[in-house]
Amino acid sequence: MAHTDELFEDLGDESETGERSSVSAKVVFKPSRRGERYLLPPSLDELIGPDNLVRFIDAVVERLDLSELIAQYRGGGASAYHPAMLLKVWLFGWCRKVSTARPLAAALTRDVEFMWLAGEQRPGFVTLSDFRRRLNGTIKDIFRDVVGLAIQAGLVRKEELYIDHTKMEANSNPHRVVWRKNAERYLSRAEAELERLLELIDRLNEEEEEQEQEPAEGPGVDELTPELLDDLVERVNRRLKAGEKERSEATEEKKQLRRGKDRLEARGRYQDQLEQLDGRNSMARSDPDSSAMMMKDKVTIRPGYNLGIAAENGIVVGYDVSNNANDSVSFTAVLEEARNTLDETPERVGYNQSWWIKKQKGHTLRSRRTNSIRRRNVCPEGRIHRKAVTYQHKMKCWS
């Protein structure tokens, strides 16, 4: 503070000027007392309202069974941050769209809500990142426990489910997408060049046989290696030094052999891409799990995921993240996840009437239209409906 005063000492005291200019206007300003000390230390709890989201997250996590998460800690050494506190911080961070460890660690030092939720503890970004990796194996169990609390509170009655999907853009370069047709085309070109390279290798072997040297057995495409091609280049150089081959011919042969090494590398790359695609039409280079799909604006095509959720009374009870843009493919997975979470089959399921499911993985949905219509919401322009199906327990199917 003293250094700041010295920096501005030559500028004079502007407070007097401000007071002189304010006297004529009769303006009274509230004083700023940053340097004033408190008689009693302030409490963060006083700054958090009773309806604040952090209080709800704190109450929910305190009622969860985190024994499986705690069992992952080995014990010994320095004391560790409690997983309940770290889980609260991550849950609230996701609610505030803070999804990475560094911004979350920064929020713990300047955001009152985060500071209250963490009990003014300040774990570093490495600790937060390590804990998030621990959650990979238990996050679904925690999700089911939270839904169980909603069932106990009477918020979920296991009667009506509504399933819908939305597209989420992946965190990747939208212009670097691998398309399956391109990979197949480039792979066929690389293999065609390697086939022509085999013809050159056979010709070199025949020339050595004519020179009464021991001929090498010609390899197949799958037997080609960079080391074998380097050996062939050395053989061409030896014949060139011995005067058994023209320089122009040897230069062209070595050029083809060296290009063959590039084609071998490209062939392996395209084979790996097709293996990662696993029947899909596209994927992002920096996020191979995503697929190119139409976004919600029905115009933009970006690498992304298809998120399906099943909800009752506004509470999500099942979800599925798929790289298939077709909602009907993910419908069964979302329904199965909801059934596993609820431990029983709901009575009714509402879904988007723009598509219809038939006989997917044991769930038989009859293709006839029913008279049962569920209203999704009401707007001034009119009603927006969702078609609904009912689970017939005797027939064990949806109708």
**Residue 263 dihedral angles phi and psi, to the nearest 5°:** -70, -35
Please give the pLDDT value at position 236. 78
Contact predicate 388/372, CB 8 Å: yes
CA dihedral 340, 345, 349, 352 (to 10 degrees): 30
**Residue 304 dihedral angles phi and psi, to the nearest 5°:** -165, -170
Q: How far is CA 235 from CA 13, 212, 246, 251, 392, in A?
A: 88, 15, 14, 13, 77
Please give the pLDDT value at position 395. 56
Q: How far is CA 36 from CA 31, 181, 354, in A?
A: 11, 70, 64
CA-based nearest residue to 290, from 153, 376, 167: 167
Please give the pLDDT value at position 219. 58
The encoded tokens of residue 149 equal 């609390």
CA-based nearest residue to 198, from 227, 236, 246, 232: 232
CA-based nearest residue to 208, from 230, 229, 231, 235: 235
Please tell me what DSSP assigns to residue 363.
B
Please give the pLDDT value at position 368. 34
**Spatial distance between the Cα atoms of 348 and 162, rounded to a whole number of angstroms:** 8
CA-based nearest residue to 332, from 353, 302, 362: 362
Bridge partners (DSSP) of residue 161 are 349
Q: Which amino acid is at 36?
A: E
Please give the pLDDT value at position 51. 92
Distance from first CA to last CA of the chain, Å, rounded? Answer: 75
The encoded tokens of residue 142 equal 């925690």
**Spatial distance between the Cα atoms of 286 and 303, rounded to a whole number of angstroms:** 10
Please give the pLDDT value at position 326. 86
Q: What is the residue-level pLDDT of the chain in tens, covering all 399 positions?
A: 556 666 656 665 555 444 544 456 789 988 888 888 888 888 889 889 999 999 999 999 999 999 989 988 887 888 999 999 999 999 999 999 998 999 999 999 999 999 999 999 999 999 999 999 999 888 889 999 999 999 998 888 888 888 889 999 998 888 899 999 999 999 998 888 888 888 877 777 776 666 655 555 555 556 677 787 777 778 778 777 777 777 888 888 788 888 888 888 888 899 999 999 988 999 999 999 999 999 988 888 999 999 999 999 889 999 999 999 888 888 888 988 998 898 888 878 887 654 444 434 444 444 333 333 333 332 333 333 445 555 555 555 555
**Spatial distance between the Cα atoms of 399 and 382, rounded to a whole number of angstroms:** 27
Please give the pLDDT value at position 111. 94
Q: In sequence order, which residues have a C-beta less than 8 Å from that of residue 25 and are 6 or more positions away?
A: none
